[in-house]
Amino acid sequence: MKKLFCSLLPVILFFLTACEKEEELPEPTQTGAGIMAARINGKPWQHNSAGGTLGGGSIQVNYYTNGYLHIFGQRQDDYYDNNITLSLSKVTHTGEYTLEEKVTNSYGTLNDYTSNSRSYQTTASTTGTVTITKLDTHSKIISGTFSFRAQNRYDPAEFVEVTEGRFDVRYE
């Protein structure tokens, strides 16, 4: 019995000390790959289809010549039903843009319908940023990164952190 315990001890110790591997997000790209992903309060989130509606999720992109950009990414499956929206005005070049209140037309939102529907949005005091890393109006590709802190619209004491966000999308 002692021999069996001694031979199993290294295996037991290995499993007790093994670190939980952090789930990876897709690498940022600039090819119009149809990705939108981020961490929501540290947990990975990724829309679950590229363009259109497939399997319940989608990315919808609108970019207008006046510089208004609207990106909506949805994840909907057996475990999740939520979406992230980035809305920016005056996007005319690569660079950093601030997410603020909805009235500024430059804001970020997270809607979580998974359980107990919650709606979060950036405000004057809970802001964020979007960095446009590629704006190719010829190939119609917009890529960038984003992060924001948003406040629950119905419970001002509750917040959500969206970090390590990235998108690489085509628009019509």
Q: How many CB atoms lie within 10 A of CB 95?
A: 12
104/109: higher pLDDT: 109
- Reported in sequence order, the residue ranges of 17-158 that DSSP labels E, i.e. its strands, are 35-40, 43-46, 59-63, 69-76, 81-88, 95-99, 107-112, 118-121, 128-136, 141-152
User: Taking the complete model, does pTM exceed 0.85, yes or no?
Assistant: no
pLDDT for the residue 57: 61
Mean pLDDT, the chain, whole residue set: 85
Locate 130 and state its tokens.
């979007």
Q: Which residue has the higher pLDDT, 77 or 18?
A: 77
Any idea of the CA torsion for 32, 100, 102, 172, to the nearest 10 degrees? Answer: -10
**156-169 per-position pLDDT tens digit:** 999 999 999 999 99
pLDDT at residue 129, as a whole number:
98
Predicted local distance difference test score (pLDDT) of residue 116:
79
- The residue ranges of every structural domain in the chain are 32-170
pLDDT tens digits for 109-131?
999 988 778 999 999 999 999 99
Q: Are 126 and 161 in contact (CB under 8 A)?
A: no
What tokens does 136 get? Answer: 């190719």
